[in-house]
Each structure stands twice: as structure tokens, then as C-alpha cells.
A and B are shown apart, each in its own frame.
Chain A
Amino acid sequence: MVAIIQSQPRAAVRILRFDRVQRAAHWANAALFAVLMATAIALYFGSFFGIVIQRHTIAEIHLWTGVSLPAPIIVSLIGPWGSQMRRDVRRISYWTRDEIRWIKSLGKTPLVADKFNPGQKLNAIFIGATILVMLATGSMLQWFRFFPVPWRTGATFVHDVFAFAVFVAVFGHTVMALTHRDSLRSILKGWVGEGWAAVHASGWLKEQQLTEDSATFESRE
């Protein structure tokens, strides 16, 4: 066992980082976000700058895209195909003390990196929670009759502020993806090289080597 851990990373060896279900869920989720953000800009700034838009049509697209937003995550989590997804959700949710220290020091403390670094984990948690917040406040705006007027005003406020935060988070996420080609490839094609994992996710690599089983290696699929 020790021999395996200490062996040199084999650059040619591919490790599966995201299985097909996760890739499909990610890109379906990204597509829904793209539609929501594009229609949000039209709805928000269209009125701000007085641009005339087919507001009703755009609002309907925004509404139904929003309602279907949880679908990729839910579908990928439930069912027999979702084991890797479920494992990664647990991975993202439960942090070691080292990871907590790492995020509090903004990445200055040493860390044996997991499959995802704490920043990536925080991004995932934020997006997950934000989906629920947007669903809740968006529903209050759409089916407003059931809520007192001050709550409707508050829901508009929260929906707007979180929308702003989503734009910041998605911008950051996109910049990071475009500047980290190996990570980007892993969400496109699924795999990372063992050399990459040794540098960026050594804890995960060790875990992979310890529990090396055929299911985690795409090359053996």
C-alpha cells in the first residue's frame, strides 16, 4: 500500500473526476442558468434603460426556466445512476478542520487537497442554496397573492441581491474554468491526469489509490 502512495504520479494515467451523470447535470444546470441570466438582464436592464422588450414572453421564459432549475440536480442525485453525485455532495458538505482553516486564511494554511478545494466547495454550496432562495423568492413574486405586500417587496429585494451575487459567482467560476484547462477538461470529458491530481487534489488521489477499483477509472470502462 505504501509503495502505491509513494509511487510517482503516472502522467498518462487518467482518473475519472466527473462521471457522465455529473457532466450532464452540470451542463444542464449551466444552460438553465444561462437562460435565466440572459432573461434576467433583459427584464432588469430593459426597464432600467427603457429598452422595449417583449416583456411578457421573456418573463414567461424566465419563470419556467426557473421552475425547472432544480431538475438536473434532483434527477442526477436520485436513482441508481447518482452514486458518484451523492458521494460528491457529501464531499462538498463535510469539511475537515484543515479545510475550514484554509478558507478562513484565504488559502494560506497548508492543505492536503480533497477532490475539490474549499473554495470550489463553497461555490457549490452557495449555488445550491441560492437555487432554493431564488425559487422561494421567485415563487413569491409570481404567486404574490398569498403573501402580504411588505413580503413581496422583501422578496423582490432578496431576488435582486442574490441575482447580483449569482452574476459575480458565475463570472468568477467562468474565469477560473478558462484559466484552469485541466479542470475545464474534466467537466467536459470527465478525466484528469494523475499528475494533475497529485498537485491539485493529492488527498483525493491518495484515496483513489487506496480504494482503487475499476469503477473510478474511465480507461477501464
Chain B
Amino acid sequence: MSLGPESPTPGEPPKRVAIGRRVFIGIAAISALGIAFGADVQSFLGNALGSGLGGLLPGGDRFRIYSITGAYPQISRSDFRLEVSGLVERPMTFTLADLEAMPTTSFVKTFQCVTGWKVPDVHWEGVKLSHILKTVGVKSEAVALSFESYDRADTESLTLDQAQLPDVIVAHRMLGAPVTAEHGGPVRLYVAPMFGYKSLKWLSAIRVVDTVQPGYWEENGYPANGWLDGTTGPTNPDPSLT
């Protein structure tokens, strides 16, 4: 754009340029690019700056703590109990020490929220749900699991098949430390191949049932099967998710 000297004819208004429209279109284009490639920019920035500074930047990959009730249940390590009941051979109640004494599975996975934000490279440790189910003995008529939370609001469900996936765990450690209250500690569910809402926080009870009972988020319109690839069928659509 050349900006020659202005020589308005007297009495005639100077020529005008539609800057408003240009800036408007420019900002719209930048944000469209941001929507399309923001995920890549974010992971690049996160890698370049590390999780500390990257987490402080607007739009950085970081946890956004959700609580249905507006509070975090505070459960001490000694008070914590996980009750497993329903269609099982041996209903049992586990303490935190019981869970920690069980074989531990650990892996590094992305926590992906259904609304878009994600936190890459989260370190998870816990007991495979399948191991707990084996310990209590699932009866043959069992079909699904219902999960309850100490917040008395959140509930979740998984089919028995989904619960057998190797990266569905009852987590007692996260990010290299005991699970904090804001992240759902002392013990939370982590369902790696599905969106974050399936990973119920402040886990208090598991009931083995004969039908899938929609959980809190499913009652609010989320699919019961929230696979990370966006599909909603009952079975894992993509083995690489696990």
C-alpha cells in the first residue's frame, strides 16, 4: 500500500480507507487460524517454555478444576474408604493402604477435557480397575459399573468390558504425588481412553450392576461412551487410544 502525499482538493473530503473492515477481517482471520491450529501452537509453546511458564500463559495447557458442588470434599488418607458392592462374590471395603498395597500400574497420558482443554504428559499411578474387580469376584449377571463420589453429586458408569481396559485405573497418585483434593484425591478414577468427565473424582463407591446407569454428566447430555476420538459406541473404537 503506497501512501502518497495527500493533496485534497479544497472543499472535497480527503479519500478514506476502510481500515475498520481490514482490521476486522484481519482479527477474524487470526482467530480462525487460532481455532484451526491453536492446539499445535499450544503444544509447541508448552514444549518450548516448559509446563511452569507455559501453564501461566493465557491459553496454556493446564488443568481447569471443575467441581459440580462448588466445593472439594476433604477426605483424610486415614478416613478414606472405597466400597465395592453389588453383583459381586465378596463385597469389600478398601482403605487407602489396601489400594496402595495392590499391584500398581503407572503411565503418562494426556488428560483431555470434552470441551477442548487438555494437559499433556500427566503421570498417573493406581490400581487397574480390572484387578479390583478380580479381587471381589464379579457375578455372571453383571453388565456395568456405577461409580459414586464423596461429593455426593457426581456419578459415572462404565460397562464391564470398558472396565477391563488396561488403562482404566483407580488412581491414588497423579503428577508424581498423592492425588490432591482439587484433582479428586485421595482416590479418583482415571479412564484414559475417554474424555475427562468419565474420570470421576473423589471416588467413594463402585457398584456392580446389571444395566448401564447414566451418570451425572450423561444425565446432562454427555454421551455415556465418551471415547477420545469423538465416537460414542460401547466398545473401544481405536486400540491406540488404550
Interface residues of A (CB under 8 A from B): 43-44, 46-48, 50, 52-57, 89, 92-101, 121-122, 125-126, 128-130, 132-133, 136-137, 140-141, 144, 148-164
B188-236 residues with Cβ-Cβ distance < 8 A to A are 228, 230
Is the Cβ of B21 less than 8 Å from the Cβ of A93? yes
B30-51 residues with Cβ-Cβ distance < 8 A to A are 31, 34-39, 41-42
Name the segment of B80-88, B114-122, B167-175 touching the other chain: B114-122
- Interface residues as binary, B15-40 with A (CB distance below 8 Å gives 1, 0 otherwise): 11111110110011001001111110
Q: B59 → chain A, closest Cβ, in Å?
A: 4
Interface residues of B (CB under 8 A from A): 3-4, 6, 14-21, 23-24, 27-28, 31, 34-39, 41-42, 58-60, 62-68, 70-72, 112, 114-118, 180, 182, 228, 230
Is the Cβ of B70 less than 8 Å from the Cβ of A156? no
What are 12 pairs between A and B in contact, CB < 8 Å?
A50-B65, A55-B65, A57-B70, A94-B17, A94-B19, A96-B14, A148-B230, A154-B34, A154-B39, A156-B117, A160-B60, A163-B58
**A-B Cβ contacts below 8 A, count:** 145
Q: Given that A94-B16, A125-B23, A125-B24 are contacting pairs, would A155 and B38 also be in contact in the complex, using a CB cutoff of 8 Å? A: yes
Is the Cβ of B115 less than 8 Å from the Cβ of A156? yes
Q: B17 → chain A, closest Cβ, in Å?
A: 5
Contacts of A44 in B (CB 8 A): 64
Contacts of B41 in A (CB 8 A): 157
Contacts of B66 in A (CB 8 A): 47, 55
Q: A103 → chain B, closest Cβ, in Å?
A: 9
Q: Given that A46-B65, A129-B23, A153-B118 are contacting pairs, would A97 and B15 also be in contact in the complex, using a CB cutoff of 8 Å? A: yes
Contacts of A157 in B (CB 8 A): 34-35, 38-39, 41-42, 59
Contacts of B182 in A (CB 8 A): 47, 50
Is the Cβ of B58 less than 8 Å from the Cβ of A52? no
Is the Cβ of B23 less than 8 Å from the Cβ of A154? no
CA distance A156 to B115 in the complex (A): 8
Q: B72 → chain A, closest Cβ, in Å?
A: 6
Q: Which of A92, A95, A164 has the most CB of B within 10 A?
A: A95
Among B31, B59, B65, the residue within 8 A (CB) of A47 is B65
Q: Give B16's nearest chain A residue, CB to CB.
A: A94
Q: Given that A144-B114, A149-B228 are contacting pairs, would A155 and B35 also be in contact in the complex, using a CB cutoff of 8 Å? A: yes
Q: Give B63's nearest chain A residue, CB to CB.
A: A47
Is the Cβ of B116 less than 8 Å from the Cβ of A144? yes
CA distance A56 to B71 in the complex (A): 11
Among A56, A93, A98, A153, the residue within 8 A (CB) of B20 is A93
Q: Given that A94-B16, A97-B14, A149-B230 are contacting pairs, would A161 and B59 also be in contact in the complex, using a CB cutoff of 8 Å? A: yes
Is the Cβ of A97 less than 8 Å from the Cβ of B35? no
Q: Given that A55-B67, A144-B115 are contacting pairs, would A154 and B37 also be in contact in the complex, using a CB cutoff of 8 Å? A: yes
